[in-house]
Chains A and B, each alone.
Chain A
Amino acid sequence: MSPKSSRIRNVFEPLDSSWVADQWHSRFGISKEAFSGYKFFQKAKSIWAISDACLPRLSYETIGMRIMSCKGRPWKPTTCALQIFGRYATKNLMHLETAFARIFLEGASQAVESDCEPGYVVVFYRGEVLGCGLYSHGKLVSQIPKERRMADRGSEDLS
Chain B
Amino acid sequence: MDFLDRYRDIVPDYEAFRAIQCQPLHSSARINTLKIKRDQLLEKLRGQGVLFETFAWYPLGLRLDAGSPGKLLENLLGYIHIQEEVSMVPPLVLDPRPGETVLDLCASPGSKTTQISQMMENRGLVIANEPSLNRLAPLRSNCERLGCLNVAITRYDGRNFPRIPFDRVLVDAPCSSEGRERRGPGVLARSSCKRSMDLQVLQIGLLKNALRLTKPGGAVVYSTCTYAPEENELVVQAVLEETDEARLERISIPGLKECPGITEWNGRELKSELQSAARYYPHINDTGGFFVAKIIKN
Contacts and interface: CB of A to CB of B under 8 A. Distances in A.
Contacts of B124: 51, 53
Q: Which of A51, A66, A151 has the most CB of B within 10 A?
A: A51
Contact of B149 (A49, A59, A149): A49
A78 to B, nearest CB: 8
Interface string B144-177: 1101111111111000001010000000000000
Contacts of A155: 71
A150 B71 contact: yes
A151 B152 CA distance: 30
Interface residues of A, number: 35
A49 B144 CA distance: 11
B77 A62 contact: no
B122 interface: yes
A99 interface: no
Interface residues of B, number: 36
Contacts, number: 93
Interface in A12-58: 38, 49-51, 53-58
A113 interface: no
Given A61-B155, A157-B48, A53 B76 contact: no
Interface string B121-156: 011110100000000100011011101111111111
Contacts of A130: 77
Interface string B89-101: 0000000000101
Contact of A53 (B73, B101, B141): B101
B155 A51 contact: no
Q: 4 closest A-B pairs (Cβ-Cβ)?
A: A80-B144, A53-B125, A51-B150, A61-B153
24 contacts: A50-B125, A50-B149, A50-B151, A50-B152, A51-B122, A51-B149, A53-B123, A55-B152, A59-B155, A60-B153, A60-B154, A61-B153, A61-B154, A64-B151, A78-B144, A80-B78, A84-B149, A130-B77, A148-B76, A148-B145, A149-B76, A150-B71, A157-B48, A159-B47
